[in-house]
Structure 1
Amino acid sequence: PEQSHHDALAVLQMPPPLTSKIVYSVILYTGKGLVILSRGFQGLKEIIWPPSVKPDLIKTYSCRPHLPVRIFLPASHDISSPHVYPVLFAIVGGGLFIGYNKEHDEWNRTFADSQHVVVIGLDHSKAPRNPFPGPVHDIEALMLAALADKTIPLDRSSHHPINRIALLGFASGGNLALAVSQLPSIHNHPLAPAAVMSVAGVLDFSIPTEKKLANRFYKPSLKPSKRGGRDSFGPVMPALCWGYVPYGVDLCNPLLSPGYADLSMFAHEAWRLACRLSRQGAGVDHGTPDSDSKQAQWRVVG
């Protein structure tokens, strides 16, 4: 059979030296231990001073009973009203190892109230016990369960030109958002997300960390810890990759590295944006046609 572009790019995850395995294990389990300790103290604090920001609903589904879903309804919502809303699924960040969707409660509440939408916070089982592709399918199962849950006032109507469903992920959650949206069960769903947003998500695991750091862009306007020459997250990235990706897995797999996803997986708006970006930089016109452009030249020759 004909070799695909993805097969030609295959980069397999290989076992590191023993010393690296030891260092990576120390990094991962020390980090997880500190987070567990911190959450323990936070839990005690909340017993004394209950948090002011809470979800309206916390649901568990039989497909993943250990992963509660946190649901935020707009402050203006009237429980007696049949009104339905657009829905934003928000996936927890945390490097695939330590994230906890409760940590996004304030953001989810603010967005639900200010934009008059339902925000559904999704979690997943953590690596290394749940390596790739486990978290992808955790999110898939929870999304399908929530979309089928008629008690959530999400807009399932067909009179809108596009679905009023969107998917957002923070950091590692951004990677999962772009991955799960490629799965046939989500991509071909009648309520498939009309938009997917990745906030600082990892798009390519096939590029070694040292090469990424060499090309990292820094913004001088940011605070000192973010603006200058050293990425504080860089040293732990190899450990995260080692703990999440099993040996022998193709690092160019689009579910792991969404940057390798087929163009057809992207919304048409993303294609038009790519067309516009192709015309920028060094005054060079890369000649990418944009059939929706209002300018005849761009429609025909780019």
Structure 2
Amino acid sequence: MRDIAIPLPIARAVLGRMFPVMLNARLSFPVQRKLMDLGATMQWLPDDTELRRLRLGGRTAEKLTARGSSGTGAVLYLHGGGYAVGSLVTHRSLAARLAHETGCAVYLLDYRLAPEHPFPAGLDDAVAAFRQLVEDLGHPAERIALAGDSAGGGLSLATAQRLIAEHGLTPAALGLIAPWTDPNVVPERERDLVINRPWSRACAAAYLGDGDRDDPGYAPLRGELTGLPPTYVQVDVSELLHPQCTELVTALRAAGVHVRFTESQGLWHVAQAQAAFVAAAAAAVKELGEFLKEAVQPVSTPDLG
């Protein structure tokens, strides 16, 4: 199916009615998950996308590629949803678009969710999936990028930190879309177009469970940042997470990490998921894909001319 371009005011008006219904702290998380999956029908796959189910780190995952692509490298994508909602269904379109933009395989992981599986279950799953890509599927760590949005962005950062510290594995890059890197921080405002404060606090509590809120795996913004790979952070200036993203970028640069930072205006939290019908969101996905492609695909001598 070909993309369409809906004017931003119309897209904002429609989504501004949908998200408060789906991401509502008064609903149980299972109900929210069903509503999110239903809403994802608006996010179709690009033409010529190939999808294969597999197991990674003991969890269901999907390998998405563009038909005919032969690029080396891989991307492990960790979906957002406050660590409590989100699924392969909600993020399949975004992962597929990154597969087309990078020309390599994108692995979308169905990691365990809170409150049924609080911290560190999701982190354990992500680390195990990355290690399996290296040890069983033959992808060198330096040719695997970690990417994710919102909670998945925070999980990507925490996964990279643990891989480096405990396994001596450094990913090729981090691609973070509005990453939620410290769930302890209470948003200053009540809501943005997508996220509201009561819902985010419910998610933070569900994810923490009986854990330690000072554990850097839970709040990777407070963890070790030195030695992380090149990182791209995308966020819109209207988002509740915008201040946290700017803090992360400042901290990464202070730690000597190469950082690219893009602040959009007029989009919303993880608008990249709506790239099928929002041109500005599609452009952001393209930029992220180009960054990841440069990181995971080595430049050969002939390419240098």
Report the TM-score when normalising by structure 1. Answer: 0.59
Shift in CA distance, 36/255, structure 1 to aligned 2, threshold 3 Å = same
Greater per-residue strand proportion: 2
Inter-partner Cα distance in structure 1 for 2:164 and 2:50: 27
- What residue number does 2:176 align with? 198
Instruction: Report how far residue 185 of structure 1 moved.
Output: 6.8
Cα distance in 1, alignment partners of residues 196 and 39 from structure 2: 25
Measured after TM superposition, the shift of residue 139 of structure 1 is 1.0
* 8 Å Cα contact 1:55-1:105 kept in structure 2: no
**How many angstroms does 1:29 deviate by?**
4.9
Residue 242 (structure 1) shift: 1.6
> What is the rounded CA distance, in whole Å, between the counterparts of 2:252 and 2:85 in structure 1?
36
2:136 corresponds to 1:149: yes
Asked if structure 2 preserves the Cα contact closer than 8 Å seen for 1:172 and 1:201, the reply is yes
Provide the aligned length of Structure 1 versus Structure 2.
Answer: 215
Match for residue 160 of structure 2?
Answer: 181
Q: By how many angstroms is 1:147 displaced? A: 2.4
Q: CA deviation at 1:75?
A: 2.4
Determine the structure 2 residue equivalent to 1:104: 91
Per-residue deviation, 1:168: 0.4
Secondary structure of 2:161's match?
coil
Q: Which residue of the other structure, out of 53, 58, 61, is the alignment partner of 1:58?
A: 53
CA separation in 2, counterparts of 1:244 and 1:268? Answer: 27
Whether contact under 8 Å (1:55, 1:70) holds in the other structure is: no
C-alpha distance 170-186 of structure 1, shift in aligned 2 (>3 A)? farther
Q: Which has the higher contact order (CA 8 A, sep 6+)?
A: 2
Calculate the aligned-residue CA RMSD, in Å: 3.7
Q: Percent identity?
A: 20
Q: Secondary structure at the match of 1:32?
A: helix
Q: Aligned to 2:25, what secondary structure does the other structure show?
A: helix
Cα distance in structure 2, aligned partners of 1:117 and 1:236: 35
**1:257 shift after superposition:** 0.7
Alpha-carbon contact 2:74-2:104 (below 8 Å) kept: yes
Does residue 1:91 correspond to 2:78, yes or no? yes
Correspondence for 2:220: 258
Which whole-Å CA distance do the structure 1 matches of 2:180 and 2:45 have between them? 34
- Matched with 1:288 is none
Contact kept, 8 Å, 1:163 with 1:194, in 2: the verdict is yes
Rate the CA distance shift 1:180–1:30 in 2: closer, same or farther, 3 A: same
Aligned counterpart for 2:148 among listed residues 165, 169, 178:
169
Where 2:118 maps in the other structure, the secondary structure is: coil
State the Cα distance separating 1:232 from its structure 2 match. Answer: 4.1
Larger radius of gyration: 1
Residue segments in structure 2 that go unaligned for 5+ positions in a row: 1-23, 232-248, 259-305
Is 1:68 aligned to residue 66 of structure 2?
no
User: Please, which runs of 5 or more residues in structure 1 have no aligned partner?
Assistant: 1-25, 78-82, 157-161, 219-224, 278-302
- Letter paired with 1:262: E
- Partner Cα distance (1:34, 1:50) in 2: 22
Normalised TM-score (structure 2):
0.59
Contact 2:73 2:104 in 1 (8 A): yes
